[in-house]
Amino acid sequence: MGSFSTTTSTVLGAAFVTAALALPSLQFANAEAPPERGVVSFKYLHYQESQDIVSQTGSNTNIINTVSGASSVAASGSSGSSGSQDRIGVNAYSVGALVPVAGKWSLGTTYTSDSVSGASPTYHSSGLTSMKDLRRAVDVQLTRYFSRGSVSFGTSYSKETDYISREFSVQGSLSTEDKNTTLTLGGSFNNDSINPINSPAIDETKKVTTGLIGVTRVLTPQDIVQLNFGYSKGTGYYSDPYKLNDNRPRERNAVTALARWNHHFDDNGTDGTLHLSYRYYSDTFGIRANTLEAEYVQPLYKGWTVSPLLRLYTQSEADFYVSVGSAETADPTQPTPPPANAVYYSEDQRLSAYGAVTLGLKVSKQINKDWLVDVKYEQYEQRAKWSLYGSGDKGLTPFKASSIQVGVSRQF
């Protein structure tokens, strides 16, 4: 542990030394400009997930316990031995504002209200427990623009019945004189409090520190690329108190590498823009993940724009993930016990190996120079057999979700 911390700080130190070394070789000027106009935005989200029911005779996977969760409600759900069943549903709205201040500053803030209800599995995809909770979150970001870059300070606060999250962040960016290369450095600190309603004795915390370094580069008048490298170090309570057989390590460190490329099609007359991104993720739980995303933004007549998107995701399972056992395969109401000698174990399917596909479409309309409205629909599906890391957990059935967002924004 001690040697790891030392090595980590060496690595982080190297990052800053590298950044510092890079600085003198670059001449910075006007990295970013403050927004010329203020904007107020509103967005509504409806999200609904479902999971296929394991076809069984003589058993019922729809047994719903109203034991835990933020507050118990009578859960609804179709019963039967085939088809799919609704899980968590979310209705959320968000209001955001960005205001230029005194020519050199901007102040941004967002308020989000997130109403979650439905049924959540206690182990793998069975043992459904109804839950209902309301999450409220607010964040504020203050940015100072300099002739040679910008610095942002941010804070956010999020509260649920059983979970409070507080965060502070700082991010700075510097550009070369020709504004074709921008270096970004950022850091944040998260301090969360966890008080599960089903286990009042658990009075826990989770602290996560994140660092990020990135380079953005203009390649041509139609191409811009970005490479971000992130590291996060977390300690505290990572287990899920609402699941059976869930005991996770108290430390989780992760690295991310994100490459993004925006290309504009000028020459062939489509006037469209392609967004491509790839992210690699790796953490000390043993999860490796690859995310590939493509979105194409096509402007049409009279301010209309359509943007189809495709997202492909795959992850490996956590080292301590416990697959669906034979007894549970035979009868999904029977939880699989963790291996006898296991210290860490979890049956959370989010820690299993799987692949996922998202298809989406966003349509927006610029009504006039002030008003913009948009609608976005996304369909998401996770399947164990789509994992590029092994065969996945064959005991898990496909998990699906769909979401719709409706937004409006007004510039001032």
Partner 1 sequence: MGENNCSQHSGRKKAGRMNLFSKEKQSIGEKTMNREIIKKSCYALVLMSMLGLSGCALGTAVQPWEKETLARPEMTFEGDKLDNAFTEHIYSSKEGASGGAGVGGGGCGCN
Footprint (CB under 8 A) of partner 1, residues 205-234 = 206, 208, 210-224, 226-232
Minimal distance, residue 260 CB to partner 1, in Å? 6
Minimal distance, residue 58 CB to partner 1, in Å? 31
| Identified binder of partner 1 from the candidate list 105, 146, 281, 377, rule CB under 8 A | 281
Minimal distance, residue 172 CB to partner 1, in Å? 11
Nearest to 232 by CA among 214, 216, 251: 251
* Interaction between residue 89 and partner 1 (CB under 8 A): no
The pairing of strands 273-283 and 371-383 is: unpaired
Minimal distance, residue 394 CB to partner 1, in Å? 18
* Interaction between residue 26 and partner 1 (CB under 8 A): yes
Q: Which of residues 45-74 bind partner 1 (CB under 8 A)?
A: 45, 47, 49
* Binding segment toward partner 1, per CB under 8 A, in 2-10, 57-65, 71-79, 121-129: 2-10
Minimal distance, residue 43 CB to partner 1, in Å? 4
Whole-angstrom distance, CA of residue 55 vs CA of residue 62: 11
Residue keyed to tokens 């209200």: 113
Whole-angstrom distance, CA of residue 88 vs CA of residue 128: 11
Number of residues that bind partner 1 (CB under 8 A): 138
Q: Which of residues 116-175 bind partner 1 (CB under 8 A)?
A: 116, 135, 137, 139, 141, 154, 156-158, 160, 162-163, 165-167, 169-171
* Interaction between residue 11 and partner 1 (CB under 8 A): yes
Whole-angstrom distance, CA of residue 188 vs CA of residue 186: 7
| Identified binder of partner 1 from the candidate list 31, 54, 75, 183, rule CB under 8 A | 183
Whole-angstrom distance, CA of residue 166 vs CA of residue 158: 7
* Interaction between residue 251 and partner 1 (CB under 8 A): yes
* Binding segment toward partner 1, per CB under 8 A, in 53-61, 72-80, 271-279, 329-337: 271-279
Whole-angstrom distance, CA of residue 200 vs CA of residue 240: 14
In single-letter form, the type of residue at position 99 comes to V
Q: Which is nearer to partner 1, 33 or 63 (CB)?
A: 33
Q: Find residue 42's DSSP bridge partners.
A: 95, 408
Tokens of 208: 């996560």
Minimal distance, residue 186 CB to partner 1, in Å? 4
Minimal distance, residue 151 CB to partner 1, in Å? 13
Other CB atoms within 10 A of residue 109 CB:
15
| Identified binder of partner 1 from the candidate list 318, 324, 384, 396, rule CB under 8 A | 318
Minimal distance, residue 294 CB to partner 1, in Å? 14
Q: Which of residues 356-395 bind partner 1 (CB under 8 A)?
A: 356, 362, 374, 376, 378, 380, 382
* Interaction between residue 250 and partner 1 (CB under 8 A): yes
Q: Which of residues 90-109 bind partner 1 (CB under 8 A)?
A: 90, 92, 94, 96
Whole-angstrom distance, CA of residue 412 vs CA of residue 39: 6
Q: How distant, in Å, are the alpha carbons of 97, 112, 115, 158, 292 from that of 136?
A: 17, 6, 9, 6, 30
Residue keyed to tokens 């925006």: 262
The pairing of strands 39-52 and 105-123 is: unpaired
Tokens of 6: 């030392």
Tokens of 296: 């194409």
Backbone angles phi, psi at 362, to 5 degrees: -120, 135
| Identified binder of partner 1 from the candidate list 65, 91, 110, 198, rule CB under 8 A | 110
Q: Outline where 44-198 has alpha helix (H).
A: none
